[in-house]
Amino acid sequence: MGPDSRLRGIVFDLDGTLYDKRPLERFVMRRFWYGLHHLLRYRNVRTSLAGEEHGDYESITRAALQRLSTRPAVQQRWLRWIREQYDPTVLEGMRTVARPYPGAGALLESLRARGFRLGLVSDYVGVEDRLTALGLSPALFDFCLETERVGAMKPAAGAVTRMLEGMALPGADLLMVGDRAFADQRFAETAGMRFLGVQVGKKSGGKKSGKKSAAQAGDWRPWSGVVARLEQLDPA
């Protein structure tokens, strides 16, 4: 990561970045053990939407349903399952098994106190409920963007534009913190932001073993290393 002299804001992803999402994923899989193929199909369809723009929430929802089935009646069953079973189960899991990474709340408070503008960008709707379920106050963030709400998925250019407008800062003055190279890191690159990656499952400092792919090249650290890096920053 280059010099930090111009940094004035920090943008965070949520899932897998501010908390370890693996316990939540196990919770959801146990709940839907009887229809695991159903669950995996839905997740794969959401992943296939990465980088796409559909204009608004209704349109991107329709695009997802059309990939799940070509039959309108089956699409409606999928929609009921998502809204009445999947989404409530995820929120329940976030309340009961998901926990913020150690010191996440204190880190956000410290960054705000030091004058950084903070943003949150998630591909899911319901960010405020998800943060509250984790015990993190939505008020810690100056701006929150639910890309799905505006019909896009990271790293879509339209979502980048919305984020830059909401943060009221140019990309060169921002740092993105995320856990997915294909979404968060590419989102940062599209916006002209610097990027700091969270390595999943790393408890202490040091580089990840093995070679990184070209897509993952950059500053990737375990959560403890991310905290140490952010604590070194001073706003411009």
The answer for residues whose C-beta is within 8 angstroms of residue 177's C-beta and 6 or more apart is 10, 11, 12, 13, 17, 184, 195, 196, 197, 198, 226, 230
Sign of CA dihedral 198, 204, 206, 208: negative
- Predicted confidence at residue 234, as pLDDT, reads 87
9 CB-contact burial (10 Å; exposed 0-12 / middle 13-18 / buried 19+): buried
- Do the Cβ atoms of 178 and 13 come closer than 8 Å? yes
In whole angstroms, give the CA distance from residue 9 to residue 118.
6
- Predicted confidence at residue 214, as pLDDT, reads 44
- Predicted confidence at residue 217, as pLDDT, reads 64
In whole angstroms, give the CA distance from residue 24 to residue 143.
25
Query: In the CATH hierarchy, which top-level class contains the domain 9-20+99-231?
Result: alpha beta
Residue spans in the chain of domains classed CATH 3.40.50.1000: 9-20+99-231
Give me the residues of the chain with pLDDT under 50, please. 1, 203-215
> Model confidence over 124-174: pLDDT tens digits?
999 999 999 999 999 999 999 999 999 999 999 999 999 999 999 999 999
